[in-house]
Structure 1
Amino acid sequence: MGLYHLNEERQAAVDKIRKRVIENIGRNMDLYGIPVSTGHLYGLLFFADKPMNLDEMGQEMKMSKTSMSTGVRTLLDYKMVNKVWEKGSRKDLYEVEYDWYQTFFDFFDVKWRKSVESNILILKKAIEEWSRLRKEHGDDEYLIAVMDQDLSKMKEAVAYYQWLDRLIDTFVNGDIFKLVPKEPPEQ
């Protein structure tokens, strides 16, 4: 898997370090709802010195082509890997997206935007239903008191989700870097 040819002892040392990093990436991906094995696949591609096809990935990870395909599809959906073209190759090749900032932003946008939109829609429908119910049962003071509490909570939730939507926008348009600048890697 390396561009350089190391002796067996040095290759074992490199592989040990890579394995530790790959295992940690898998655990971290699990936090985002991505299977550990898909996180391991991402780690494999992260350390690859060239784009890999499903057969190569399967050999390295000792997994079936079907499992590799499912994992790659997940990573493609979250824009964590890219399909690349290579002259002379008839198989699909994949490489990791090395811009971790953009990967996080894309993942955050895909995962959270859908949730935010769904929650705002449900809450606004509930607020509309609340208004209709209040008109129908405006003489029931207890019901109105309960509903007013609920309405206040729902309006707070809508405000939160609208804020979260704006936060997602700062990631997508890059404005987040005005607030939290990137730092260069340590040398």
Structure 2
Amino acid sequence: MILLSNEQETMDQARDMMISAIAQSMVIYGVTPSIGRIYGVLYFSSEPLTLDEIKDQVAMSKASVSNGMRELQETEMVTKVWKKGDRKDHYIAEKDFLRNFMTYFIKKIRQERNLIMKAAEQVEPILEDVANHTTDQYVKEKAQEDLALIKDSYRYFDWTMRLANAMESGEVFNYLPKTPEE
């Protein structure tokens, strides 16, 4: 049994508090606290960790850790790395919070746009057909109102795509520098 010094215990408690805060903050972005804890453990790790090592630190099943890792890899918050002499997969965290934030939001902005635009492409011709061929004035007005709402949403999606592109290219930092001194 290894006895930890008071300083080590204090440092571990402080680290656990930060990992907990990271996990709680990720809930704001729709990530479960357990996945947030996985990320937090990797964030504070000075070396790549295996699924088993992560599992032991977060007290979760290996399957849950594996699923969490897949989600973190999809958002580019975690990367799988090769470690010489070991056949197991190892993982490291992207430690740049700003990069994580931007990658996450760019992905979500594009997902939102794709969902709504796909539906709009299907619905617009239907509403146009109804508006152009119905003899019911009320139905015609409602179809035209719905078409106007859909067309109005295109300005929003144009703006969000320009925002995502400016974030991806780094152009956004021309208007909002990473630090006040820039």
Q: TM above 0.5, one fold? A: yes
> Mean Cα displacement is larger for which, 47-56 or 103-112?
103-112
Partner-residue secondary structure (3-state), 2:19: helix
Match of 2:174 in 1: 178
Q: Do the aligned residues in 2 keep the contact of 1:119 with 1:161 (CA within 8 Å)?
A: no
Q: Do the aligned residues in 2 keep the contact of 1:58 with 1:65 (CA within 8 Å)?
A: yes
Give the drift of 1:146.
2.1
Instruction: Give the aligned CA root-mean-square deviation in angstroms.
Output: 1.9
Residues paired across the two proteins, number:
179
Match of 1:3 in 2: none
1:65 and 2:47 aligned: no
AA matched with 2:159: W
For 2:53 and 2:167, locate their aligned partners in 1 and report how far apart those are by CA, in whole Å. 34
Q: Do the aligned residues in 2 keep the contact of 1:86 with 1:93 (CA within 8 Å)?
A: yes
1:136 and 2:133 aligned: yes
For 2:100 and 2:180, locate their aligned partners in 1 and report how far apart those are by CA, in whole Å. 17
Give the drift of 1:92.
0.5
Q: Do the aligned residues in 1 keep the contact of 2:130 with 2:140 (CA within 8 Å)?
A: no
For 1:140 and 1:47, locate their aligned partners in 2 and report how far apart those are by CA, in whole Å. 65
> Unaligned stretches of 5+ in structure 1?
1-5
For 1:130 and 1:140, locate their aligned partners in 2 and report how far apart those are by CA, in whole Å. 14
Match of 1:50 in 2: 47
Q: Do the aligned residues in 1 keep the contact of 2:130 with 2:143 (CA within 8 Å)?
A: no
TM-score scaled by length of structure 2: 0.90
Partner-residue secondary structure (3-state), 1:50: coil
1:165 and 2:164 aligned: no
AA matched with 1:140: D
Give the drift of 1:184.
7.7
Q: Deviations over 1:113-140 (max 9, x none)?
A: 1221120221233222221112211x43
> Unaligned stretches of 5+ in structure 2?
none
Q: Do the aligned residues in 1 keep the contact of 2:127 with 2:147 (CA within 8 Å)?
A: yes
TM-score scaled by length of structure 1: 0.88
Match of 2:120 in 1: 123
